[in-house]
Amino acid sequence: MLHLRSLLFNLGMWITIPPFALLAILLIPLPAVTRSRIVGGWAHFIMWWLRVTCGLSYRVIGRENIPAHASVVLSKHQSAWETIAFQTIFPPQIWVMKRELLWIPFFGWALAAVSAIAIDRSGGREALKQLVAQGDNRLKRGLWVVIFPEGTRITPGERGKYHIGGAWLATHTGATVVPVAHNAGEFWKKRGLLKYPGVITVSVGEPINAANMKTDELNQQVEAWIEAEMPRLKTL
């Protein structure tokens, strides 16, 4: 039954990607926030479909910590779930990702259409300059910027290296940072098609004003909070 439910969910998700990708392209003339909000309707549908087919839902702790202005989200990364669900939790947003994702048919086209920030990870300091320039542009347009500091999906219980890109963007633009911890990987694995029933917990930390902070200091503060919060999620 678990396999059948997961297959049904995955089919529904894959079938809906092309039409929403085409919609995103058609909406390019609209303001970025409006475009993101409309296309984000797909994420709301997917979260509903996930609950109906697989019995997997989520709850948010610390929702009151979400600022009223565009900010930078620095989050734990365990699965594809958070890339979808965050669109239903936070205001209109874009993501910082490796540029190779733009080459994926339909999915990549949709990411480009909603002004996602695609970075060449091998670009070193030049990549950081691009991140700041594009990130500052998106924030000024009212879009939130979501970054996964570990850079890749991490298996629950493990800990990846927190790269400085997100903290660099925040300290060089004076943006507010919102740290986020969650346990999505317990139910939606980073590999495999199975989705397990249950309730994912998302914890939103208190916002951090990055103005006048050093990049390493901010990065360490975010890492410390997220990693301390991860085991606490099991007790909530």
User: Sign of the CA dihedral 11, 12, 15, 16?
Assistant: negative
Of 177, 181, 187, the C-alpha closest to 219 is 177
Q: What integer pLDDT is reported at residue 210 of this predicted model?
A: 95
DSSP character string of the chain: -HHHHHHHHHHHHHHHHHHHHHHHHHTTTS-HHHHHHHHTHHHHHHHHHHHHHH-EEEEEE-GGGS-SS--EEEE---SSHHHHHHHHHSSSEEEEEEGGGGGSTTHHHHHHHTT-EEE-GGGTHHHHHHHHHHHHHHHHTT-EEEE-TTSS---TT------SHHHHHHHHHT-EEEEEEE-GGGTB-SSSS-B--EEEEEEEPPPEE-TT--HHHHHHHHHHHHHHHHHHGGG-
pTM for this one? 0.93
User: 2-235 sits in which CATH class?
Assistant: alpha beta
Neighbours of 170 (CB within 10 A): 30
The model's pLDDT over 65-121, given as tens digits with 9 standing for 90+, comes to: 999 999 999 999 999 999 999 999 999 999 888 777 778 888 787 888 888 888 876
Taking each helix axis from N to C end, the angle separating 125-140 and 165-173, rounded to the nearest 10 degrees, works out to 50
> In the prediction, which pLDDT does 123 show?
64
For the chain, the structural domain boundaries read 2-235
pLDDT in tens, 155-207: 999 999 999 999 999 999 999 999 999 999 999 998 888 999 999 999 999 99
Q: What is the pLDDT of residue 226?
A: 98
pLDDT at res. 109:
79
Digit-coded pLDDT (tens) for 32-45: 899 999 989 999 99
For residue 52, pLDDT over 90 is answered with yes
Dihedral sign, CA of 99, 161, 43, 45? positive
Q: How far apart are CA 83 and CA 90, in angstroms?
A: 11
Q: In whole angstroms, what separates CA 226 from the centre of its chain?
A: 15
pLDDT at 122: 67
Q: What is the mean pLDDT of the chain?
A: 93
